[in-house]
Amino acid sequence: MIADVPRRAPSSPLAAQIRVISALFMRELLTRFGRSRVGYIWLIGEPLMLALMISALHWASGSHLPNDLPTFLFYGMGYVPFLMFRSIASRGAAAVTSNISLLFHRSITLLDLMIARNIMETLVCMTLVALFVLGGMLTIGEIPHHPGQLILGLVLSALLGHGLAMLLGSLQVFVEFTERLVHPFTYILMPISAPFYMVETMPPNVREMLLWNPLVHINEMNRWSMFGDRIVPHYDLGYVMIWVLGLNLLGMAGLRAARPRLSMSD
């Protein structure tokens, strides 16, 4: 008598894609950090050193933040969310051209590659934010004013970066030199995204121009969520949602248009 060989139960397309994204996520994790702990240590050390350096310069200048805001936490919580956006936008955009060989597998799509890489960047940077918040709680007793809204701000920053990454990644397929513009573009965004200053301190005409940038709204919301009424926030959640929805729709349309132009010979 021949025993029946157990067979895997059929799964839904959604479950299959989740398995694909999970496998791609682990591949991205190993590709970026390898099996050494040095990569993970540097990942945490870079933003910590930058926050320390800016805080030290601020302290040496003899100036103080209004309402006794903690200097290290203020600059750290401003830089890390922007670092997440920049990492998602720049590294995610490169996911298309650097993983063309994976498209040989019919179950892998461009969107899968984007999602896997950008989830990794999001989780890494959210871990850094959690460390900054925990450090503030343990050292100076600084508790987030609105933790739920802080998490929402970080998610919106990640989604904004994801949409931009899809759009830039698809543009690289049509216009090759776009790849060289991604990093300069994300660095140019830093001074006009208010990661290191409050919009309230800007002149009214400058403030109006800055508020065209959705990242400014997110940074302002994050600061209020962290420090509460010690700052005067300027943000519009609806405006940010329009940008997130628009960039992600354009990005997905771009990936759909780019896919037929890719070939294994690229």
pTM, full prediction: 0.85
Residue 161 pLDDT: 93
Sign of CA dihedral 229, 230, 234, 239: negative
Mean pLDDT of the chain: 82
d(CA 94, CA 168): 9
Residues of the chain with pLDDT > 70: what percent? 84
* Lowest pLDDT segment from 58-62, 82-86, 95-99, 138-142: 58-62
Q: Is the pLDDT of residue 12 over 80?
A: no
Q: How much is the pLDDT for 36?
A: 62
The pLDDT of residue 31 = 72
**Across 77-89, average pLDDT:** 87
Interatomic CA distance for residues 45 and 51, integer angstroms: 10
Tokens of 222: 């994050």
pLDDT score of 243 = 96
- pLDDT digit string, tens, across residues 202-248: 999 999 999 999 999 999 999 999 998 898 999 999 999 999 999 99
| pLDDT at position 112 | 84
Mean pLDDT of 115-141: 86
Tell me the average pLDDT across 251-263. 83
Mean pLDDT of 59-75: 77
One-letter amino acid at 36 equals: S
pLDDT > 50? residue 5: no
